[in-house]
Amino acid sequence: MTKPMTKTQLVAALAEEMGADKKTASAALDAVTAIVTREVSGGGAVTLPGIGKVFCRARPERLVRNPATGEQITKPADKAVKVTIAKALKDSVNG
């Protein structure tokens, strides 16, 4: 397995793909990140065409077990960010 692409590498690849400089590509990436963060934290969802859908899911209060002691405790309700991968991306990976 190879190492994941860093933000610097992503910005460089994005700049090359856009035919723009790295400063513009970095600003575009930061803007997309801010929009997705704002929308998902507000309870909405964002579909990134060809990549997938990012959304927030509420998890109910539940009983969990401490593995060290075996004691059961109640974990309060919380939210989790989920990503559903687009079929086009799955198909391109699986060939």
Q: CA 46, CA 39: separation in Å to the nearest integer?
A: 7
Q: What is the mean pLDDT of residues 33-52?
A: 94
Q: pTM for this structure?
A: 0.78
Q: For residue 68, what is the DSSP state?
A: T
Domains of the chain, residue spans: 1-42, 51-95
Query: What is the token pair recorded at 35?
Result: 């929009």
Predicted confidence (pLDDT) per residue in 69-95, tens digit: 999 999 999 999 999 999 999 999 998
Q: How many CB atoms lie within 10 A of CB 11?
A: 20
Backbone angles phi, psi at 2, to 5 degrees: -90, 165
pLDDT at 59 over 90: yes
Convert the pLDDT of each residue in 7-32 to its tens digit.
999 999 999 999 999 999 999 999 99
Beta strands in 20-71 (DSSP E): 45-48, 52-59, 62-65
At the fourth CATH level, the homologous superfamily of domain 51-95 is: IHF-like DNA-binding proteins (4.10.520.10)
